[in-house]
Amino acid sequence: MVIVGTVVTAATMIALASLHTAEWQLVLAKVLTAFAAGVGTTALLAGTATAIETKDIGIATGLLVVTRVIGVALGAQLAGAILDAGAEPMTGRPAESAFVTGFAVAGLVAALSLLVVRITKKGVQA
């Protein structure tokens, strides 16, 4: 489920880089990414809770939540920096190209996370 959520997020963000002119496209993208985040987070928490001793569930799930919050905060800062760097000098508003860059970066980061998981799981025995 985590992989499915990640693939949906990556594909949605990359698609948004080129398809973002109609309101329904943005709404659909938000629905897809919210659903993917919810499914992925739930799967991570459930998988962690069943893989460790009962006495450590609170610590492990708490660490997952803190890690996710840190990731969201870093992602928001990166997105803000991308939009600010692409701001038009006269208005201070981000140009469309800044949003395209932001969507593409978000999609690539999601896609790269799949590679990181694949590399780190090679030596792990299930």
Which residue type does 86 have?
A: G
Domain containing 84 equals 2-121
**Whole-model pTM above 0.75?**
yes
Interval 24-52: pLDDT, tens = 999 999 999 999 999 988 988 888 888 88
Domain count, the chain: 1
Does 13 fall in a domain?
yes
73: in domain: yes
- At residue 94, what are phi and psi to the nearest 5 degrees? -65, 140
For residue 126 the two structure tokens come to 């299930």
Residue 66 within any structural domain of the chain? yes
Six token digits for residue 92: 């201070």
Question: Is 38 contained in some domain?
Answer: yes
Which value, to the nearest 10 degrees, does the dihedral of the CA atoms of residues 40, 120, 115, 47 take? -10
Residue 124 to residues 2, 54, 118: CA-CA distances in angstroms? 17, 22, 10
CB atoms inside a 10 Å sphere around CB 23:
8
- Residue 126 in any domain: the answer is no
